[in-house]
Amino acid sequence: MSDGVANEVLRVAVDAPQHSGLGGALDYLSKRPLAPGTLLRVPLGKRELLGIVWHGAASAPPGQALREVGEVFDALPPLGPAWLALVDFAAGYYQRGVGELALSVLPPELRKLDAPGLVKRLARLVKKLDKAAASAPAAAPLAAVVRPALGPEQRVALQAFEAALDQPRPAPILLFGVTGSGKTEVYLHAAEQVLATGRQVLVLVPEINLTPQLEARFAERFPAHRMVSMHSGLTPVQRLQHWLMAHLGQADIVLGTRLSVFAPLPQLGLIVVDEEHDPSYKQQEGARYSARDLAVYRAHLERIPVILGSATPSLETWQRAEPSPQQRSQRYQRLTLAERVGGGALPQVRLFDMGVLPKVAGQSPLLAPMVLDSLRDRLTRGEQSLVFLNRRGYAPVLFCADCGWKSGCPHCSAWRVFHKGERTLRCHHCGFTERVPRACPDCGNLDIAPMGRGTEKLEEQLAELLPGARIARLDADTARGKGQLEARLAQVHSGEVDVLVGTQMVTKGHDFRRITLVVAVNPDSALFASDFRAPERLFALLMQAGGRAGRDADAAGRSEMWVQTWHPKHALYAALKTHDFAAFAQSQLAERRAAGLPPYSHLALLRAEARDPAVALAWLNEATALAAALPGAAGVTLYPPVPPAVGKVAGVERLQMLVEAASRLQLQRLLADWVPVLHSLRGRHKGLTRWAIDVDPLAI
């Protein structure tokens, strides 16, 4: 300990795994009071780590010699009370250490800095901002911002938002608008009102490929305001700079993916969650948080409005916006935009029964005759079409007809996908890749063939069926390199593409004005999946895909969507034909209520991984026995362990058990007692690779 008297005991959050027993906050001594939220460096073992003052402790623990804090980042204002409360809640709810979560959501570059290094970074940032401010007055006057006239439904939605601004704790707003109904314009008007009061706006988008488009809309509307983005595509230096601008109040608008829900914003006045239903808002590693749910909680803490926008809201959100007999009003306020702006119309949805087509060589044709005619008709008119298949690669598997060999992954319980252009077999779970064998590895047969169809094969087959058509493919393989996504989208927008083939990447958020036809190829697989949320995801995906057509008023009357299905009478397709999300949601919620599934129950998954599945099973069985003896176990059901859909990944066997409770409080009580016991249990099972709790899982 250094010279002097250290008379303050501080509780400091540090980045230590929860299983180490240090996942919360540790006590340190300080020579001076430090406000909660202050960043500083502290010793831990032989290392010195970045820490955050969480709160002061009344006195040092008896019989424990505390170490003294290191240098304090005085150049940076403390993180605010609402930010600390948000992280505290998220750590408790999702069963992670508060220090582990708090430090993981900070820019990695910040953890490498010392106090003098931070001062230099801040000086450079201030210089850059001053230079930008000086050049702005010297530039030509900004052109007047053009604001499209609002339609009647948009005006009603905006009036409701204005009323929410005057409420002491406004209810979350569900902006339920069909694709092309002008939800973004409502966001922009709402943001304008908040920015005019000197407050900040946080806009969340589900995926990085949607960020540039929305970013351009906000930049065009607010040229005099500073906007920063936050997503995984930024360099470490950019991420730190944008985080500092947000924290210092220098960024008026922050637009980013799920991690940006933790952006420090001292003057936050509005949160917007675009495409709130999207599963990308759920983190799948570490702290498995839902950014959508945390955005709602953060708005509650900050006493500000949050707008959740979607054409196909999650059923949890929809249910919270439904009137309930048990309460006088909805928990969420639903605002509806039922009409497309600018004279656009939703496409006519037409179903084709693939069962009536004769098979050729044991296989069904790629496209039904009338679907192919519709594509040719669009080519003749100079219009664009979108063909959607949610499976990338050339084929899901290679197959030997002689001995039955298939291109399985040696490290996963999954097939390796055939990528024809690269002549590779690639596992999309572990990444294991090999060249395509010249012959069957088991019997030597030279005639091994692809089975099934992916977007790469679909692109090839469409080129044969539509000679002369300009066909482009957009999926994770073609958009892998820097700038590839933007370049391909620019080709579509400029009319250089006649038929766009793609996965779900092309179905959401894109404003394709020339597309008048959408074709969904083989979407049936999700209809009978074991996961109870599969129909919800499929309906949202098809609604979003269909929403790419008919946005231009000139083509509104002839835009259509073909769905090729083996089950044309399924209730999901009946609702899709009429674009009736409300009917679909009502039927799904009725089924879930009868089955006791979310949102009428609350779930968690306990996952265990090991090279030997017997080890994972033994650990889960002992965990079950320990849970049964806990006081919080009453009213909570623990189901037997089962493997997930893909039971083995990268050589590691995975098992999971479902935990179900009628109330959120019941579930959290059990988890709070159970998780500390599980940490101590790990050491008794050698060979256990890792375990994790997933609260509110998206898939079971």
| Domains within the chain, CATH numbers bracketed | 8-117 (3.40.1440.60), 150-339 (3.40.50.300), 345-392+454-593 (3.40.50.300), 602-695 (3.30.70.100)
Q: Which are the contacts of 682, defined by CB distance < 8 A and separation ≥ 6? A: 19, 619, 688, 691
Is the pLDDT assigned to residue 18 strictly greater than 60? no
pLDDT for residue 17: 61
User: Given pLDDT bands bounded at 50, 70 and 90, which one contains residue 1?
Assistant: very low
Q: Tens digit of pLDDT for each residue in 483-514?
A: 788 888 888 888 899 999 999 888 776 777 78
Question: Is the pLDDT confidence value at 73 over 80?
Answer: yes
Whole-Å CA distances, 417 to 216, 405, 426, 431: 36, 14, 5, 10
In degrees and rounded to multiples of 5, residue 39 shows phi and psi of -85, 140
Residue 329 has pLDDT above 70, yes or no: no
Longest dimension (CA), the chain: 89
Q: Which sign does the torsion angle of CA 666, 668, 669, 670 carry?
A: positive
Q: For the ranges 102-116, 140-154, 644-658, which has the lowest average pLDDT?
A: 140-154
pLDDT value of residue 6: 56
Closest C-alpha to 523, from 579, 562, 476: 562
Q: What is the mean pLDDT of residues 583-597?
A: 95
**Sheet strands (E) in 421-559:** 424-426, 433-435, 448-451, 471-474, 499-502, 515-521
| Whole-number pLDDT of residue 556 | 63
pLDDT tens digits, 170-204? 999 999 999 888 999 999 999 999 999 999 999 99
As a whole number of angstroms, the distance between CA 457 and CA 394 comes to 5
**446 C-beta neighbours (distance < 10 Å), count:** 10
- List the single range of 59-68, 225-234, 303-312, 620-629 with lowest mean pLDDT: 59-68
Residue 2 has pLDDT above 50, yes or no: no
The answer, yes or no, to whether residue 5 has pLDDT greater than 60, is no
- Residues 281-295: tens digit of each pLDDT: 999 988 999 999 999
Is 129 or 602 the better-scoring residue by pLDDT? 602
User: What percentage of the chain has pLDDT greater than the value 90?
Assistant: 71
Lowest mean pLDDT segment, chosen from 125-129, 182-186, 209-213: 209-213
Helix axes 291-302, 81-93, angle to 10 degrees: 140
**Strands, E, within 232-347: which ranges?**
253-256, 268-274, 306-310, 333-337
329: its two tokens? 């009003």
Q: In the predicted model, is pLDDT for residue 244 greater than 90?
A: yes
- Joined tokens for residue 266: 């001292």
What is the rounded CA–CA span in Å between residue 365 and residue 347? 24
What is the arithmetic mean of pLDDT over 98-102? 94
The letter for the amino acid at 650 is: A
The pTM for the full model equals 0.93
The 306-310 sheet, strands edge to edge: 227-230, 253-256, 200-204, 268-274, 306-310, 173-177, 333-337
The SS3 of residue 591 is helix
pLDDT digits (tens, 9 = 90+) for 568-578: 999 999 999 99
pLDDT digits (tens, 9 = 90+) for 48-67: 999 999 987 666 667 778 89
Lowest mean pLDDT among 531-545, 549-563, 681-695: 549-563
Q: What is the pLDDT of residue 507?
A: 79
Please give the Cα distance from 307 to 667 (Å, whole number): 28
R_g over Cα of the chain: 27
- pLDDT bin (cut points 50, 70, 90) of residue 319 is very high
Rounded (5°) CA angle 648-649-654: 45
| Whole-number Å distance between alpha carbons of 132 and 138 | 10
CA dist 541 and 536 (Å) reads 9
Are the C-beta atoms of 28 and 1 separated by less than 8 Å?
no
State the burial class of residue 58 (Cβ atoms within 10 Å of its Cβ: 0-12, 13-18, 19+).
exposed
Euclidean distance between CA atoms 558 and 516, whole angstroms: 7
Say if residue 664's pLDDT is above 50: yes
Q: What is the pLDDT of residues 353-379, one digit of tens each?
A: 998 988 776 677 889 999 999 999 999
Give how far Cα 280 sits from Cα of 210, 287, 305, Å. 12, 14, 22
Rounded Cα distance between 246 and 259, Å, is 13
Residue 650: pLDDT band by 50, 70, 90 thresholds? Answer: very high
- Give the pLDDT confidence score for residue 325 in this predicted structure: 63
| pLDDT value for 608 | 96
- In this predicted model, which residue has the larger pLDDT, 133 or 103? 103
Query: What pLDDT digit, counting tens, does each position of 33-42 carry?
Result: 999 999 999 9
Please answer whether residues 400 and 446 qualify as being in contact, where contact means their C-beta atoms are separated by less than 8 angstroms: no
Q: Are strands 348-353 and 560-565 parallel, antiparallel or unpaired?
A: parallel
Structure tokens at 458: 């679909």
Mean pLDDT of 441-450: 92
Q: Please list, residue by residue across 203-234, b when 16 or more beta carbons sit within 10 angstroms of its beta carbon and e when fewer do.
A: bbbbbbbbbbebbebbeebbeebbbbbbbeeb
Q: Tell me which residue has tokens 């969420």.
A: 332
Q: What is the mean pLDDT of residues 458-484?
A: 88
Confidence tier at 92 by pLDDT (50, 70, 90): very high
CB atoms within 10 A of CB 645: 12
Mean pLDDT computed over every residue of the chain? 90
